[in-house]
Amino acid sequence: MENAKPVIEIDNLTFTYSTAEKPALRKVSLTIYEGEYVALLGLNGAGKTTLQLCLNGVIPHLVVGEKAGVIKIMGLDTEEYPPRELAKLIGLVFDNPEFQLSQMSVAEEIALGLENLGIPTEEMPGIITNALQAVGLSGFEERSPFELSGGQQQRLSIASALAMQPKILVMDEPTSNVDPIGKEEVFAVAAKLNKEKKITIIMAEHEVEVMAAFSDRIIVLNDGEVILNGTPVEVFTNVEMLEKIGLRVPQVTEMTHLLQKKHNLSLTGKYPVTIEQAEEMLGKRLA
């Protein structure tokens, strides 16, 4: 992004779990900038979760394995700072919100993380209120987390991460265990945080239409390696390459690819990834 500062710098990262025969990540080098919305795509086992655990220091501090390469979060080397310290800069939201919930009330759930950071008790109510407001859960302070819908639970997980005021929010398939309404809620919150609060979003997802619409950049992992890295148009134009590794492209992109082959359309080598782009690109040619 123009004039944006790098917030994540990864240089030649390789990681192999102690029980694995081959690396989960191989020679990954990436730079992610302040305020970007980055989508991570790849099949199960491609290395998405491993990469995310490396970002917040869980790897190498809490997971046994062999790591090579350097990761810096806003200039801090993750080898030198534990997850507890990195949590002030980078928040992590897992795929199943119930795995992160343990307290009797919504307010207590958010307060738990604040206690771990040593935040004074008198400062917590204001922080909790602001975090819940950011995710659309104002007034839920006394509710049990286990009485919430799946989408609300995931938004509570996001609020718990936001309470620590991170600059970066990493989300590992956050909609995989929620219903369609919950998916919409989570995607809307992520987009709002990115646009209004300028929080850098890194989201691993399988909902390619949503990622095409919201993300600034898409990174595709396959067998632990980065094979594509670019804008949604740049990445999804590689239809045949993505299909070969088993990844779906947006339906409008697939349709354009088929029309290109059938009618030999001149599309300057790029396919649309949203309906709006398709209308603009194909309207005159198919009129």
Counting Cβ atoms within 10 Å, is residue 173 exposed (0-12), middle (13-18) or buried (19+)?
Answer: buried
pLDDT at 267 over 90: no
Q: Within a domain: residue 19?
A: no
Instruction: Work out the pLDDT band at 259, boundaries 50, 70, 90.
Output: confident
Same domain, residue pair 45 and 181: yes
Residue 190 lies in a domain: yes
CA dihedral 37, 41, 47, 52 (to 10 degrees): 20
Structural domain count of the chain: 2
- Cα–Cα nearest to 148, from 188, 182, 123: 182
Residue 115 pLDDT = 86
Q: What are phi and psi of 217, to 5 degrees?
A: -145, 150
pLDDT at 284: 60
What is the C-alpha to C-alpha distance for residues 250 and 272, in angstroms, rounded to an integer?
9
pLDDT of amino acid 9:
98
Using CA of residue 272, residue 212, residue 45, residue 17, what is the dihedral sign? positive
Same domain, 160 and 53: yes
pLDDT at position 266 is 62
pLDDT band at 182 (very low <50, low <70, confident <90, very high): confident
CA distances from 94 to 51, 167, 172, 212 (A): 13, 17, 5, 21
Is residue 252 within 8 A of residue 278, CB to CB? The reply is yes
pLDDT at residue 178 is higher than 90: no
The whole-angstrom separation of Cα 281 and Cα 286 is 10
Residues 177 and 130 in one domain: yes
Q: How far apart are CA 54 and CA 57, in angstroms?
A: 5
Average pLDDT over residues 42-60: 94
Q: Residue 285: what pLDDT?
A: 61
State which of 42-46, 260-264, 268-272 shows the largest mean pLDDT: 42-46
**Measured distance CA(157)–CA(134) in Å, rounded:** 12
pLDDT digit string (tens) for 132-151? 998 889 999 999 999 998 88
Position 2 pLDDT exceeds 80: no
Q: Are residues 277 and 227 in the same domain?
A: no
65 pLDDT more than 70:
yes
Q: What is the mean pLDDT of the chain?
A: 90
Q: Quick check: 158 and 199 in contact, CB under 8 A?
A: no
Q: Which domain holds residue 285?
A: 250-287
In a domain, 170, yes or no: yes
Q: Quick check: is 71 in a domain?
A: no
| CATH number of domain containing 86 | 3.40.50.300
For 158, phi then psi, to 5°, come to -65, -45
**Residues 271, 211 share a domain:** no
Residues 205 and 257 in one domain: no
Give the pLDDT confidence score for residue 177 in this predicted structure: 78
pLDDT tens for residues 10-21?
A: 999 999 999 999
Residue 197 has pLDDT above 60, yes or no: yes
Structural domain contains residue 5: no
